[in-house]
Chains A and B, each alone.
Chain A
Amino acid sequence: MEIIWPILALVLVLTGTFFSIIGALGLVRLPDVYTRLHAAGKVGVFGAAFLAGAAALITPSVLGKAVILTALLVIAGPVVSHALASAAYRLGTPVQRATRDDLAVARERRLAMRDSMDSPV
């Protein structure tokens, strides 16, 4: 039974490394800010969480650290990627290869409404 923990930890390390590599690869391959944030901001966090889990399995005394670290990553990671995406959209960075953009539609509708209210009768 003792042998199972190192093996499980190894599996977690490999999975974590795999997802970290995917995050880096996505950052290079994907076309624009928004899609790159998907790879770097989230899949990367995902990889780090697996690595923290593996560390907790090998040395049980760091379990608390691993749990807190994962929780902080999961709470703060989305906030960062949302802030970056929102800033990019406000600056007018185009959404590459967009098949659908509901936000642009809503924005145009709002602008049109404001223009029609401003126009003298």
Chain B
Amino acid sequence: MLAHLRLTLICWLIYLAVTANFELSNLVVGLLIGLAIATILRPESQPLSLRRLPAVLFNLAKYTAWLGVDIIRNGIRVARIVLDPKLPIRPGIIAIQAGMKSELGVALSAHAITVTPGEQVVEIGDDGVMYVHCLDVVTSAEGAEEAQRKRRAMLERIFE
């Protein structure tokens, strides 16, 4: 029941953000759509402690900011490579150990790597090894382990 309400609320907020119309009729329509989606999806209830929520939100914001900085830095690097007349790419695939047990953790690590320009996960092995295609293997391989350690620490603080 709690999960149902939570999903309804999230859908409602997204609907209101997209329509940006706070008249009573729109509020009601949004609530009905949210209820319908929650009824169809039937979310599984999972324990949510309200006490941990602020810490989780704070860590989520920190993670998003870190990811944003990473994306901008690497975006500029890739822009440089593409604009360079000599096209100085050193493509290749490197293996990075995700070091996380849960599938969600590995998936989110892979997402963080793939969302960064210049690196993308091609394949994930059974043992949680991510095979990452890089535009510049030498530069990416240097910082890869360190970045994954940092990423893992942040993700574990959000989803433990």
Q: Do A and B bind?
A: yes
Q: Which of chain A's residues have a CB closer than 8 A to the CB of B125?
A: 106
In this assembly, does A11 line the interface, its C-beta being within 8 Å of a C-beta of chain B?
no
Per-residue A-contact encoding for B86-115, CB less than 8 Å = 1, 0 else: 010111111100000000000000110011
Chain B CB within 8 A of A111 CB: no
Q: Are A103 and B114 in contact (CB under 8 A)?
A: no
In the complex, how many residues of chain A place their beta carbon closer than 8 angstroms to a beta carbon of chain B? 46
Contact between A29 and B82 (Cβ–Cβ < 8 Å)?
Answer: yes
A58 proximal to B (CB < 8 A) = no
- Residue total for B at the interface (Cβ-Cβ under 8 A): 40
Which chain B residue shows the least CB distance to A27?
B82
In the complex, chain B residues whose CB is within 8 Å of the CB of A62: 20
Q: Report the minimal beta-carbon distance from A121 to chain B, rounded to whole angstroms.
A: 26
Q: How far is the CB of A78 from chain B (nearest CB, A)?
A: 4
In this assembly, does B7 line the interface, its C-beta being within 8 Å of a C-beta of chain A? no
Distance of A86 Cα from B117 Cα, bound (Å): 17
Query: Smallest CB–CB gap between A92 and chain B, Å?
Result: 13
Chain A residues contacting B133 (CB-CB under 8 Å) are 34, 85, 95
A31 CA / B17 CA spacing, docked (Å): 41
Any chain A CB within 8 A of the CB of B14? yes
Contacts of A37 in B (CB 8 A): 120
Q: A11 CA to B112 CA in the complex, in Å?
A: 27
Contact of B14 among A43, A68, A103, A104 (CB under 8 A): A68
7 A–B pairs (Cβ distance < 8 Å), ordered by A: A25-B83, A38-B78, A39-B78, A43-B78, A64-B18, A79-B114, A82-B110
